[in-house]
Chains A and B, each alone.
Chain A
Amino acid sequence: MVSIASDLPVSSTHPRWLIRAALLAIAYLVIPFVGTSYLFEAILLPFLALSLAGVGLNLLTGYAGQVSLGSAAFMAVGAFAAYNFNLRVEGLPLVASIVLAGFSAAAIGIVFGLPSLRLKGFYLAVSTLAAQFFVQWALTKFGWFSNNSASGVIDAPPLAIAGIGFESAAGRYLFALTIVTVLTFLTLRLVASQTGRNFIAVRDNETAARIIGVPVLRTKLLAFAISSFIIGIAGVLWAFAYLRTVEPAGFNLDRSFQVLFIIIIGGLASIRGAFFGAALIVVFPLALSRLGAFFLGDIFDSGVLDMSQRIVLGGLIILFLVLEPDGLVALWGRSVRRLGSVFGRS
């Protein structure tokens, strides 16, 4: 894999925390009041869930260098674990179910991370496919997981914390936003810590890492565990806050690839990149269908839309891999610097 830069500074004039605080203020204080239900349901909720999955996968693949094609499996584990904890443990608060779901995904992540102790790169990616197929098979095969529902599709429980419901579109948005904000904040602190340095050390040069005393095997498994924990909770958000149903088919291989594309397009080893990539992945099909319908009218039906989506997305990924391996986040950093220098001179 190409050498990967860490987050680039946005701008030297504004401290980073100020920009983050401003974004959070807009997300919490402005959007809930001006947003339409379409904005929440079709754009912001999938964006938040996929961003969080991207953050999780980026820890594993971008930072620790372990390629995984099993993201959707860990999302499914999270969603079904949260559903079952909520269903079967009397009086368990929703937040506790979600955290326990994260731990369940982490445990499964460690199991499927074991091959990483021997395998690298492409071979590891193929072995993580096992997680993808196994989890989906197990969830379909054993009715217990979906409470023996005839269709296999189950309704997610209502979102509520301490008696306060978050059932409206804006409510579910705030619920997801809070979880994503907290986990992203913790992840940012993690990647700046010794553990974060260990991840990158293992990715960039495993032998050198071992020689300076980085516990390589433990670090890899830890990356799988933390990454799966976050992806598992992203799965809970996907099922509970966005779709409001829980079904294995929603967590198929396509979803795994989608999360992988998010971090490739957004930028590997960048937390911000996961958000950029998720935004593109969510907004792009909507924009494409609008544009297609506008220019081509009736010819642009859902079949054509689906095809053209795949074609353009495939093209984009090739373009990014060739021209901008550091992803949208690097493009963004360069544009901001260029703008900054233009304004600085005038």
Chain B
Amino acid sequence: MHAMTYALEGLGTSPFPPDVQEHCLDLDGKAAPSARGSGGSNIQLELEGISLSFGGVTALNNVDLAVRRGEIRAIIGPNGAGKSSLINVISGVYRPDRGRVQIGGNSYAQVPTDKLARLGIARTFQNLALFKGLSVLDNVVAGRAYTVRSTFLGQIARVGVARGEEVDAHDRTQRILAFLHLENVADRLAGTLPYGLQKRVELARALVAEPDVLLLDEPMAGMTATEKNEMAGFVRATRETYGTTVVLIEHDIGVVMELSDRIAVLDYGRKIADGTPEEVRADQRVIDAYLGVVPENEDGAGI
């Protein structure tokens, strides 16, 4: 129901006539006017012609996507449109059949997952991927794993580099826990927390790595309206406080429209629109594919 309401609101307030939007789309997002008015030079993350299929099923078809430094970039689309596949390609979980991923000047056919954190990319998962047997604190401390240089012998002895790393990781963790209001549950086992809080712990674990780019795969799925607002607040605060670039997949169109600087719309593995929330909201193809016609996905969205 939400999607429908927002979509109709959006139709009423469209600032651009349809032909202008067509034009913007043809420029593939790169040259399209940005909400923050920055040029195309500071691209932090770029996908070029990404195609991916599983067996005979095409998940992504020649998708381009450019993400600018410091923006909140949303990817929306109906179920099965390829949104999560896109995040999985960026984080190296999937290897695309064609196309390349550019991260900070390096170009990859498959992003090396084990070096992802060092490349400045952190992510959360659509289905929770916390370490259930660790406390909230330890889950977040674990997010510093990529910085660890000490060996297990040094860690047992708690001397030198190992000691410094441990203290540093705990300091940073405490700051992130405070930032996301998780101090009260720091000692709880992560698996025992309610769903909404577990999502927030995942965000904390990603943030403690101090990434340049944060990939959020449906951070608000399954949350109540209050929890969604909280989470949106945290995402916004993350950008304000740490200058983090955010790539976000979300089903709740209302949240996305409010939160994002630019939105890419996927449908059947193709990118059908890319632009500011206003542009996307007014795009006829988007309305046809997603906003106007709501298939029965508002309840089971993304599950």
Contacts and interface: CB of A to CB of B under 8 A. Distances in A.
A209 B145 CA distance: 9
A214 B142 contact: yes
A198 B117 contact: no
A205 interface: yes
Given A190-B152, A205-B131, A222-B152, A212 B189 contact: no
A269 B191 CA distance: 15
Given A189-B156, A190-B152, A210-B113, A201 B134 contact: yes
Given A6-B133, A194-B141, 11 more contacts: A5-B133, A5-B189, A6-B189, A190-B152, A193-B158, A194-B144, A198-B142, A204-B133, A208-B125, A209-B145, A215-B114
A230 to B, nearest CB: 13
Interface of A: 3-6, 186, 189-190, 193-195, 197-198, 200-201, 203-205, 207-216, 222, 226, 269
B114 A213 contact: yes
**Among the interface residues A207, A211, A212, A215, which one has the most CB atoms of the partner chain B within 10 A?**
A211
A272 to B, nearest CB: 15
Interface of B: 91, 93, 113-118, 122-123, 125, 129-135, 138, 141-148, 150, 152, 155-156, 158, 162, 165-166, 169, 189, 191, 205-206, 209
A211 B91 contact: yes
B209 A213 contact: yes
A6 B165 CA distance: 23
Nearest to A206: B129
A287 B113 CA distance: 54
A256 B133 CA distance: 25
Given A213-B117, A214-B142, A201 B129 contact: no
Contacts of B142: 194, 197-198, 201, 209, 212, 214
20 contacts: A3-B191, A5-B133, A189-B155, A190-B152, A194-B148, A197-B134, A198-B145, A200-B133, A200-B138, A201-B131, A205-B129, A209-B131, A211-B113, A211-B116, A211-B122, A212-B122, A213-B115, A215-B114, A216-B114, A226-B152
B117 A211 contact: yes
A147 B289 CA distance: 79
B61 to A, nearest CB: 25
B209 A212 contact: yes
Interface core residue of B132, B145, B155 (most chain A CB under 10 Å)? B145
B204 to A, nearest CB: 12
B114 A200 contact: no
B189 A195 contact: no
Listed residue (B116, B131, B155) with the most chain A CB atoms within 10 angstroms of its CB: B131
